[in-house]
Amino acid sequence: MILELLAIGLVVSAFLAVHLDDAVYSVVSLAGTLILVAILYSLSDATFVAVFQLAIAVGTLAVLFLSSEMLSEKQDGQRSFKSVLLTLGAALLLSMPSIFISIGTVPAIVSSNISFPEALWNLRSTDVILQGLVIMTVALGIAIVLQEKKERGN
């Protein structure tokens, strides 16, 4: 049951992070997504990866909060309650397959004596390291944009 709730939370927060118009609210939704991913890693007995995920999330969110506050335009109009409910409904609808569809186990070609943390670091370490590299590149790009804005006097 906890994994289904995590799946719903991940889909809803990721959908909101992309769909919300206000940059600050999008960053808050992204924070929820990254924290839920860390919880999922922790529940899978990959504590070190969960800590690594949280460390990356904290740095990313700090940069994104600062840049969204400085670079985004303030919106005057309020979103209607109907629009918010429609967005939330669409996100919940997208999360339904994770609840009702069960995926059977596929026989592994390799030995199943490997634990999840070992598989993550031995087989997927490049992906995890590249995730950190992409986030650092985004942070560097935002820093360059902020520096150019400062030099222009805005």
Domains defined along the chain, listed by start: 2-103+112-152 (1.20.120)
Q: What is the pLDDT of residue 77?
A: 58
How many CA atoms are closer than 13 Å to the CA of 14, on its beta-carbon side?
13
Residues of the chain short of pLDDT 70, as ranges, are: 71-79, 98-112, 116, 119-121, 123-125, 127-128, 154
Average pLDDT, the chain: 75
Query: What residues contact residue 115 under an 8 Å CB cut-off, 6+ apart?
Result: 45
Q: What is the pLDDT of residue 73?
A: 65
119: which 2 tokens?
Answer: 């598989």
pTM above 0.85, yes or no: no
| Burial of 24: CB neighbours in 10 Å, binned 0-12, 13-18, 19+ | middle
pLDDT at 26: 81
What CA–CA distance (Å, rounded) separates 135 from 139? 6
**Token pair in block for residue 130:** 């590249």
